[in-house]
Amino acid sequence: MLCVGCGATSAPPPTGTGDLTVSATTTGSNLDPDGYTVTIDGGASQAIGIAGSVTFAALGAGSHSVQLTGVAANCTVSGSNPQTVSVPAGGTAQVSWAVSCAAEAVLYTQQFTGSDGSDWPAPWAPIGGFIPVHDIQGNRGRFSSATGHIGRMLLGGFSQRDVDARWVFSYEDPGNQGAGIYVRQDGQYVGNGYALFLEGVSAGGPYLGVWRGVNGVETRFAFVQGPVPFTAGTTYHFRFQVVQLTATSTQLRGKVWPDGTAEPIAWTIEATDGTAVLQNVAGTLAFDDVNYAGMSHVFVDSLRVIAP
């Protein structure tokens, strides 16, 4: 019998549902206590511990893409990521990852402790002349700015291009204040650098913004509105990562979250910048405070800077 136009036929797609169990193991130093995130097909996600497992139930039988994210910069995932796995109808598929972490390269760390009324630990120093107060109070660094001016505390003797800076601080009057951290700062009050800044209601916020300073002209070129509740006495964690991507482009990423909560896996704000004078240059660090009304204080608990 002759069959004209007949050809091979593909098997029908699988039907029904199955489960997928994902596991992770982590070895090395400076393990990420917040763990990771597992995402299926770019959609459904679950948190997974550094030595844990999670199960996705009732997935459609067939092929799925599984990805592990939220891995710290000092950690490496072995094998393919994402992985492709076939989930059997009525059964359970398995996926596992091994993560290894290297010791962080700590560039600078400081706890702002001391007797009340003593000065900030050297080599921190005020610059620009608009800081009426800079001292230690309650084992925190305290500083303020004259109304309508930037008060800046500068770290002397530090010079790095790429940094991952983690700053812990609080506001006295957040509705009338803004505060942030500068990197690649050139040591001048009217100078250059990049900053991550969290500002209050008086500035049209609250918002978290990424700024560039060029010859003292400061420009906000990326921001997100109201990323966290903005209240007096709340201790905030800042993370500002600045990395030279190419010879002409820098990546800037920031997060902010209240003390007592987990660090968000995703960056709160991300931007790139190609301002020529800020590319491929090392600089120091600085803390800024702005008072739109009054002369309230910012309190600094700690600063830790690692290589990204």
Write down the domain spans for the chain: 17-101, 106-306
pLDDT of residue 190: 95
User: Tell me, what amino acid is at 264?
Assistant: P
Lookup result for tokens 């003797």: 157
What is the predicted pLDDT for the residue at 1? 46
Q: How far apart, in whole angstroms, are the C-alpha atoms of residue 38 and residue 54? A: 8
Which pLDDT does position 230 carry in this prediction?
84
63 contacts: CB under 8 Å, gap ≥ 6 = 84, 85, 86, 87
8 A C-beta contact, residue 222 and residue 271:
yes
Q: Quick check: 266 pLDDT over 90? A: no
- Mean pLDDT of the residues in the chain: 92
Q: What percent of the chain has pLDDT above 90?
A: 81
pLDDT confidence band for 49 (50 / 70 / 90): very high
Tell whether domain 17-101 is in CATH 3.20.10.10.
Answer: no
- What pLDDT score was predicted for residue 169? 96
12 pLDDT band, cuts 50/70/90, is low
Q: Is the pLDDT of residue 214 over 50?
A: yes
**Helix, strand or coil for residue 202?**
helix
Closest CA to 176 of 196, 200, 150, 152: 200
Which among 70, 94, 95 is positioned nearest to 80, based on CA atoms?
95
Average pLDDT over residues 230-246: 94
The predicted pLDDT at position 124 comes to 98
Q: What is the pLDDT of residue 197?
A: 95
- State the average pLDDT over residues 167-177: 93
Task: Give residue for tokens 């990197």.
Answer: 183
Q: Which two tokens stand for residue 156?
A: 């002397």
Nearest to 229 by CA among 175, 186, 266, 184: 175
Cα–Cα distance measured from residue 147 to residue 135, given in angstroms and rounded to the nearest whole number: 19
pLDDT value of position 13 = 59
**What is the CA angle 280-238-193, rounded to 5?**
30
Residue 203 has pLDDT above 80, yes or no: no
Highest mean pLDDT among 21-35, 116-130, 203-217: 116-130
ω into residue 206 within 30 of 0, thus cis?
yes
Q: Provide the pLDDT for residue 220.
A: 95
Helices (H) and strands (E) in the chain, counts: 0, 23
The per-residue pLDDT for 11 is 56
User: pTM of the predicted model, to two decimals?
Assistant: 0.75
- State the average pLDDT over residues 101-107: 91
Q: In what order do the strands lie in the sheet with 177-185?
A: 124-127, 150-155, 284-291, 177-185, 193-199, 207-214, 217-225
What pairs with residue 287 in β-bridges?
153, 181
More confident residue, 180 or 265: 180
Query: What would the CATH number be for the domain defined by 106-306?
Result: 2.60.120.560
Per CATH, 17-101 and 106-306 having the same topology is answered: no
36-45, 56-65, 261-270: range with lowest mean pLDDT = 261-270
Residue 88: predicted pLDDT: 96
pLDDT at 143 over 70: yes
Please tell me the distance from the alpha carbon of residue 267 to that of residue 35, in angstroms, as a whole number.
15
Q: Is residue 2 scored above 50 in pLDDT?
A: no
- For residue 120, give the 3-state DSSP assignment: coil
Whether the per-residue pLDDT at 96 is higher than 60: the answer is yes
